[in-house]
């Protein structure tokens, strides 16, 4: 479902060309749970942004569900993100002025669903993350773990093909982090692919595949399969 061939990323200034990601190939199939590890500044987030169509790659071909996304317009990429990709961020990225239902509904608004369908999908997503009945609460009324659950509900509301999670437990204590990891595994078991950047090797090992990025070079580790 996700195929990258010779994808690379470089940043060019007036005098310097910085190679953030060296050319790499990658295939992700339906139901994969992939952890991306590597030291800070190695290119993990750049890789995630390229996978999530938030940033353009400099070289190579990227196919999402057999569609070459390399030359899509901004509008087409936005539409593809909206329909096929769910994002989960380290700092939750909830809008504090909006209540939970409005936060979760946000992707659905850009898909022009009716208010009835939006509400139904958002309620189902909140139910899935264990926050049914808190729809009218505001993010600041929740704990960090609960806020991340709301962010996961938002990512799930549009029924995406895969979730991109950028250190989803990075701002949580270990108990809350375990809860979020359990939730992600549960979602993965239901068929949604997950690509998760993490610093925590213990969490990384819970994935079915581990990709390491070091100095812009991307390589796949096999120990996850052995774990």
Partner 1 sequence: MVNYYIKLAWLSLRKTPLLSFLMVSTIAIGIAAAMVTITVGYMMAQDPLPHKSDRVAMVHLNSWDPMQPYGYRRNGKNDIPSTLTYQDAMALLHANKADKHTLFAQFSDMIRAASADIRDAQLHPVRSTTRDFFDMFGAPFIFGGTWSEEADLNGEQVIVLSKHENDRIFGGGNSIGKELLIGTLLYRVVGVIDDWQPTPRFYTHRYLMYQPTLKYFVPLESQIRNELFSPTSMGWSCWGDAPNSTLADLLVSECVWIHMWVEFDSVAKKDDYFGFMSDYSEEQRKIGRFARPEPNRLMTVPEYLKMEGALSNENIMGIGFALAFLLACLCNVMSLMMTKFHGKGGEIGLRRAVGANKKDIIIQFGFESVFIGLVGGIIGLLLAQAGLSVLAEMFSNMHQNVMTMDIYLMLGTIGLAVSTSVLFGLWPIYRASQIQPSSQLNSL
Residues 151-190 that bind partner 1 (CB under 8 A): 154, 158, 166
Q: Which tokens go with 207?
A: 């994935």
Residue 141's SS3 state is: helix
How many positions of this chain bind partner 1 (CB under 8 A)?
30
Closest residue by Cα to residue 78 from 89, 87, 66: 87
213 backbone dihedrals φ, ψ, rounded to 5°: -115, 125
Stretch of residues binding partner 1 (CB under 8 A), selected from 24-32, 110-118, 176-184, 206-214: 110-118
For partner 1, give the closer residue by CB, 45 or 148.
45
Q: Is 79 helix (H, G, I), strand (E, B) or coil?
A: helix
**At closest approach, how far in Å is the CB of 227 from partner 1?**
30
Order of strands, sheet of 217-221, starting from the edge strand that comes earlier in the sequence: 85-88, 162-166, 193-197, 33-37, 209-214, 217-221
Select from 6, 30, 109, 133 the one that contacts partner 1 (CB under 8 A): 109
CA distance 149 to 153: 6
* 93 counts as binding partner 1 under rule CB under 8 A: yes
CA of 45: how far to CAs of 95, 100, 173, 201, in Å?
22, 27, 22, 17
Min dist CB 13 to partner 1, Å, is 15
109/214 with CB nearer partner 1? 109
Instruction: Of 44, 40, 100, 110, give the one whose Cα is nearest residue 77.
Output: 110
Binding mask 15-54 for partner 1 (x = CB under 8 A): ------------------------------x---x--x-x
Tell me whether residue 124 or residue 178 sits nearer to partner 1 (CB atom): 124
The single residue among 110, 132, 143, 215 that binds partner 1, judged by CB under 8 A, is 110
Please report whether residue 87 would count as binding partner 1 according to CB under 8 A: yes
Give the residues across from 33 on adjacent strands: 194
Residues of this chain that bind partner 1 (CB under 8 A): 45, 49, 52, 54-55, 74-75, 78-79, 81-83, 87, 89-91, 93-95, 97-98, 106-107, 109-112, 154, 158, 166
């Amino acid at each position: 479902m996700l195929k990258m061939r010779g994808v690379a990323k470089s940043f060019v200034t007036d005098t310097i060309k910085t190679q953030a990601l060296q050319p790499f190939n990658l295939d992700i199939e339906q139901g994969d749970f992939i952890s991306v590890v590597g030291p800070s500044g190695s290119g993990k987030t750049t890789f995630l942004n390229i996978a999530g169509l938030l940033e353009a790659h400099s070289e190579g071909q990227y196919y999402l569900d057999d569609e070459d996304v390399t030359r899509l317009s901004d509008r087409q990429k936005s539409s593809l993100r909206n329909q096929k990709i769910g994002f989960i961020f380290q700092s939750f990225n909830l809008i504090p002025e909006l209540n939970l239902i409005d936060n979760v509904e946000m992707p659905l608004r850009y898909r022009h669903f009716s208010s009835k369908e939006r509400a139904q999908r958002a309620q189902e997503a909140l139910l899935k993350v264990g926050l049914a009945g808190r729809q009218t609460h505001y993010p600041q009324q929740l704990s960090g773990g609960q806020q991340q659950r709301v962010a996961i509900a938002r990512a799930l509301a549009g029924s995406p093909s895969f979730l991109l999670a950028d250190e989803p437990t990075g701002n949580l204590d270990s108990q809350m982090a375990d809860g979020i990891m359990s939730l992600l595994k549960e979602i993965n078991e239901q068929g949604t692919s997950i690509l998760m950047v993490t610093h925590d090797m213990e969490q990384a090992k819970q994935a079915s595949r581990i990709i390491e990025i070091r100095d812009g070079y991307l390589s796949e580790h096999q120990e996850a399969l052995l774990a």
